[in-house]
Structure 1
Amino acid sequence: MEEKELTQAIKRYLGDDSDNYAIMVTGPWGCGKTHYVENCLRREVASDGWHIVRVSMFGITSEDIFYDRLLSAILSSKESDIRNSLADIGSLSGRFGRFFRHKKKKSPESPSRFKRISKDVGISALMGQMKKAGIQMSVEARSLVELLLGKGKVIVFDDLERCLLDETRLLGLMDTMIES
């Protein structure tokens, strides 16, 4: 299949609301699949409002590493909607502000400060400021992935042949993501 035909087939698939599954593009190692995703498909689907998050599956040995890698790919993506998602997380601190105000000793950090930090720097800075303010929170990578992924994202799992998870577990993880 030619590049243009493949792109049109993927765009048709993404445009069909009745499909909520996964597609697989195969080819021998070194044939240019990653190059195609990064240099052609990313641009083409962006024109329809889709954003690609590419995740290397190289060396993944557990579900925790899978979600950590996926979260890292989401956060390192340069798409503007990812930055907006982080800003949305900052607004969560405002929603939870009433819990912070229950403290006997008022924290010098206000929820609006949390919001600004999360917009500017991201999750790690938000968590760091919360820790300094005496607020402890544990969030698993899987929960953050589910929070940050929404409509308009195309997740590309690259280097599947180098993933160390057995096929059943890997396909189960993908199925869970599709279902949620």
Structure 2
Amino acid sequence: MNTLEELKYYCNEKQPAGAIMLTGEWGCGKTYFIENELRKELEKTHVIIRISLFGLSSIESIKNEVQLNWLQSYIDEKSETKGLGEKGIKTLQGLMNVANEETKNKFGPVGFIINKLSSLDIVDFIKVAPTIGNKKVVLVFDDLERSSLSTNDMLGCINDYCENLHIHTIVVANEEYVKLKNSYKGTNKSIKYETIK
């Protein structure tokens, strides 16, 4: 079975038992493969949401990225115009920022209420689900080796999506650099990468 068939088979499982990892050297085309080949094969039945872990430094930042990207995909799937999700979220965030600035000391109690409402983070209200409409969601966590977080913490966070939320999850990484990264940070108290894998 080739890589595409293996990923399609995994994405079509009724309930994933865990995540699957796509490995390869930097520049070999892993991300291109996901964004073009896999997305094209599954576009009628699945929504692929790719999250780059590059530079993310907390579990909360990973969860926020997942929630925002899930919401963008949800809006795109429900609208006739692709890309509307990202534009809509940016517009809403911009309006909230303007409301924040404009109402700080204006409009008395009404301004105070608007100011408080505008300080809410829309991400707090997004519940990530394993489907959008009648399509299965596939979360792709790219650049595992480039995150600032420990591999154990990241894989624990990612595991929550596949084990508890039953979302098909693909991890994309240059495995040699993950091993190298962990060899510098390894202690007797941490679980080794080989065990987690």
TM-score interval, smaller chain: 0.5 to 0.7
Indicate the RMSD between aligned Cα atoms, in angstroms: 3.3
CA distance in 2, matches of 1:51, 1:27: 24
Q: Contact (CA 8 Å) 1:74, 1:82: kept in 2 or not?
A: no
Per the alignment, residue 7 of structure 1 pairs with 4
The verdict on how the C-alpha distance between 1:23 and 1:83 changes in structure 2, with shifts beyond 3 A counting, is farther
Give the counterpart of 2:151 among 151, 162, 167: 167
Query: How many matched pairs?
Result: 140
Per the alignment, residue 44 of structure 1 pairs with 41
Flag the structure with higher strand content. Answer: 2
CA distance in 2, matches of 1:124, 1:177: 28
Structure 1 length as normaliser, TM-score?
Answer: 0.62
Between the aligned residues of both structures, percent identity stands at 28
Gaps of 5+ in 1: 85-117
Structure 2 length as normaliser, TM-score?
Answer: 0.58
Q: Does 1:71 align with 2:73?
A: no
Give the counterpart of 1:138 among 116, 120, 124: 120
The verdict on how the C-alpha distance between 1:171 and 1:27 changes in structure 2, with shifts beyond 3 A counting, is same
The verdict on how the C-alpha distance between 1:82 and 1:158 changes in structure 2, with shifts beyond 3 A counting, is farther
Corresponding residue SS for 1:31? coil
The verdict on how the C-alpha distance between 1:28 and 1:65 changes in structure 2, with shifts beyond 3 A counting, is same
Per the alignment, residue 94 of structure 1 pairs with none
Per the alignment, residue 80 of structure 1 pairs with 76
The verdict on how the C-alpha distance between 1:148 and 1:124 changes in structure 2, with shifts beyond 3 A counting, is farther
The verdict on how the C-alpha distance between 1:17 and 1:37 changes in structure 2, with shifts beyond 3 A counting, is same
CA distance in 1, matches of 2:128, 2:91: 14
Give the counterpart of 1:149 among 129, 141, 160: 129
Per the alignment, residue 88 of structure 2 pairs with 121
